[in-house]
Amino acid sequence: MKGGGGGYSGKRRWRCLAIGVLFLVVLSMLVPLVFLLGLYNGFHSTGYVSDRASSSSGSGSGSNQNDARVDQGTRPVANVERNTRDKSNIQEIIDRFGPTLPHLENAFRNHTNEATNVSSNTDLKRDGQQQQRGTPVPSHSLPRPLIVERDKTVIPKITKPKKSVVEESEKLCELRFGSYCLWRGEHREDMKDAMVKKLKDRLFVARSYYPSIAKLPAQNKLSQELRHNIQDFERVLSESTTDADLPPQIEKNFQKMELAIAKAKTCTVECHNVDKKLRQILDLTEDEANFHMKQSAFLYQLAVQTMPKSLHCLSMKLTVEYFNSSLRDIVLSSSEKFSDPKLHHYVIFSKNVLASSVVINSTVAQTRDSGNLVFHVLTDEQNYFGMRLWFFRNTFREAVIQVLNIEQLDLGYQDKASLLSMSLPVEFRVSFHSADNPSGTDFKTEYLSVFSHAHYLLPYIFQNLKKVVVLDDDVAVQRDLSDLWNINMAGKINGALQLCSVRLGQLTSYLGENNFDKNSCVWMSGLNIIDLARWRELDLTETFQKFRQQVGKLTESVEATALSASLLTFQDQIYALDNTWALSGLGHDYGLQVQVIMNATVLHYNGKMKPWLELGIPKYKHYWKTFLNRDDQFLGECNVNQ
């Protein structure tokens, strides 16, 4: 019984062992199969490597290993995947910047496409490839522009020579990225490392010919020569980024590569394979260029919207010094001049102590009688204490300055909570076809600036005043403004500079179905004389609130609501100031003439490139820096004068 039992148990062990071996055999066959299928799918998705693998199989087993190394330099798949993730992250951040008028964006694009008619089959093919790769073309870019289209009835059709794709992309760059493209164009530097560029170009050509040459058995020697040259160039370029880093024998290596490419061109190869490789390399290069363009535009936008380190330092030092000084225990008596309607009252909305100081200093420096000047600086609670100390330390002849914390004002207006948050004038970038150049890609760009929500509290903040002049904090005054108070505005409320290149009729799809004169010019903030008495009679603040609620249903953007509601509120209430009173565009237009600048009474730095920023337009900065108080010790400690 025992023996029989032992034989049976032995058979069971052998049977289990046989089943285990069979399972391992099957598993050993399945794993490589799954692995090969995974590789195939991966290669197929990248496109370039799959073709490269097929060419390797046809050139013999001896060169497969070296061919694989050449392929690794041809397309860094990991980098492409990383860049794809970076693109999505960058685009997500970019989308949060810049207000726009989305209703008009597609209209301008359609009109531009119909007018230019320069699209090529190659561009259409690439657009299709991008959509297939799951990379949709964004409907908005950095910063998102307010696109305006001129009335088609006033634009004559002009036949012009077709422009190249490169020229057209340069023309439309500003539509996508705004003033970044202007700044990049002005600061573009010629490539100094020309040899490195030549090496990269020759490397691309060699990579394009190599797969086809490797398939020809009779060209085994040329194939090896190309492979060695490619590997040598890849090694050199991985170690050198400038001409100065290149090894001494690089000229000799370059000539060897040129000779190998010349031999490859004499061989009979399938042209469509070479064309395919070149197109793949071109697509990769264009993708990389667009990716870096978006990164650069994002960094530029971040730089122009972020307070510089020096100004942040100044604000913090002033605030700390305020609480360390005895000034916080001093209750400043309210000067009688603050409410005297016979004096000249100037109002400045600002969160920037340096900018508001320049506005006041430039205004006082040009006036004949500084004793008549009263400045009211409205700011938020965060900057209130620093500004209060700054204007306590610095005097401006006989002018008096009142610093107000708009968030703590006790006003009689019932709905003040919706307007009391501190906000600066709203700026929008507007691109439109010029009347002189009405073709599809020739357009002009302006930056519209209008009142913010906080401006509509002026009649309640200054109840004893009948008239005030509102100055934006990005202006510099070059002439005496006293004559502004003698202007008869004929019952109008807002004396402002008008921009007649943009009319309300061009904003119909954005302003809604309200009744307004479509031929009315858009008005600008920066320099505005306000009749507060007339404002109170017509109760424009309540009118603004109604338009704000009405337009707010069409858009969620607070800035966009302020723009449209302000334009509708002041329709038929604008007194057009002479163009010599103010010159706008110093924050975005590089083409302003010196004589025009010198003749202007007020210089308005509207746009992204403010004069206190490192990215400001250099040739306009000195008009603003002239009025800096360079003697203050805090400016030196925070390197503001640099």
- The per-residue b/e assignment along 189-207, b for 16 or more CB within 10 angstroms, e otherwise, is eeeeeebbeebeebbbbbb
User: If you ran DSSP here, which 8-state letter would residue 478 be given?
Assistant: -
Highest mean pLDDT among 6-15, 264-273, 587-596: 587-596
Got the DSSP string for 548-590?
HHHHHTT---HHHHHHHHHHHHTTT-EEEPPGGGEEE-TTT-T
Q: Measured in whole angstroms, how far is the alpha carbon of residue 351 from the centre of its chain?
A: 22
The mean pLDDT of 70-84, rounded to a whole number, is 41
The mean pLDDT of 433-460, rounded to a whole number, is 75
Q: Is the pLDDT of residue 40 over 80?
A: no
- State the chain's mean pLDDT as an integer: 75
Beta bridge partners of residue 444, listed in sequence order: 432
Percent of the chain's residues with pLDDT above 70 = 69
Which run of H or E residues covers position 512? none
pLDDT the model gives residue 288 = 85
pLDDT the model gives residue 103 = 38
Which run of H or E residues covers position 223? helix 220-239
pLDDT the model gives residue 336 = 85
Reported as a pLDDT band with limits 50, 70 and 90, residue 7 is: low
Q: Return the minimum-mean-pLDDT range out of 355-369, 464-478, 510-524, 573-587.
A: 510-524
- Give me the sheet containing 475-477, strands edge to edge: 475-477, 602-604, 582-584
Percent of the chain's residues with pLDDT above 90 = 30
Reported as a pLDDT band with limits 50, 70 and 90, residue 520 is: confident
Pick the residue with more confidence: 602 or 187? 602
Q: Return the minimum-mean-pLDDT range out of 55-69, 246-260, 474-488.
A: 55-69
Q: Is the pLDDT of residue 359 over 80?
A: yes
Reported as a pLDDT band with limits 50, 70 and 90, residue 642 is: low
- What long-range pairs does 541-544 form, CB within 8 A, spacing at least 24? 541/413, 541/419, 541/456, 541/457, 541/459, 541/460, 543/569, 544/456, 544/569
Q: What is the pLDDT of residues 134-181, one digit of tens each?
A: 333 333 333 333 433 333 223 333 334 444 444 556 567 777 788 888
Got the DSSP string for 440-473?
SS-EEEEEEEE--GGGGGHHHHSTT-SEEEEEET
Q: Is the pLDDT of residue 65 over 50?
A: no
Could you tell me where the DSSP H helices lie in 95-193? 102-116, 121-132, 165-177, 179-186
pLDDT the model gives residue 335 = 77
372: helix, coil or strand? helix
Structure tokens at 101: 């008028």
pLDDT the model gives residue 435 = 54
pLDDT the model gives residue 447 = 85
Residue from 300, 306, 183 nearest 588 by CA:
183
Q: Return the minimum-mean-pLDDT range out of 49-53, 121-125, 381-385.
A: 49-53
Alpha carbons 251 and 241: distance in angstroms, whole number: 16
* Residue extents of the structural domains in the chain: 176-304, 309-638
Q: What is the pLDDT of residues 382-439, one digit of tens each?
A: 999 999 999 998 989 999 999 999 888 877 666 656 666 668 888 888 776 655 555 5
User: If you ran DSSP here, which 8-state letter would residue 493 be given?
Assistant: S
Residue from 146, 53, 52 nearest 99 by CA:
146
Structure tokens at 350: 């600002």
Residue from 436, 430, 434, 438 nearest 116 by CA:
438
Angle, helices 558-569 vs 540-552, to 10°: value is 130
Alpha carbons 487 and 491: distance in angstroms, whole number: 11
How many C-beta atoms lie closer than 10 Å to residue 168's C-beta? 18
Residue from 494, 570, 503, 569 nearest 527 by CA:
494
Q: Is the pLDDT of residue 330 over 80?
A: no
pLDDT the model gives residue 351 = 93
CATH class in words for 309-638: alpha beta
Q: Yes or no: say if 339 and 464 are a contact pair by the CB < 8 Å rule.
A: yes
Pick the residue with more confidence: 104 or 343? 343
The model carries a pTM of 0.69
The mean pLDDT of 251-265, rounded to a whole number, is 89
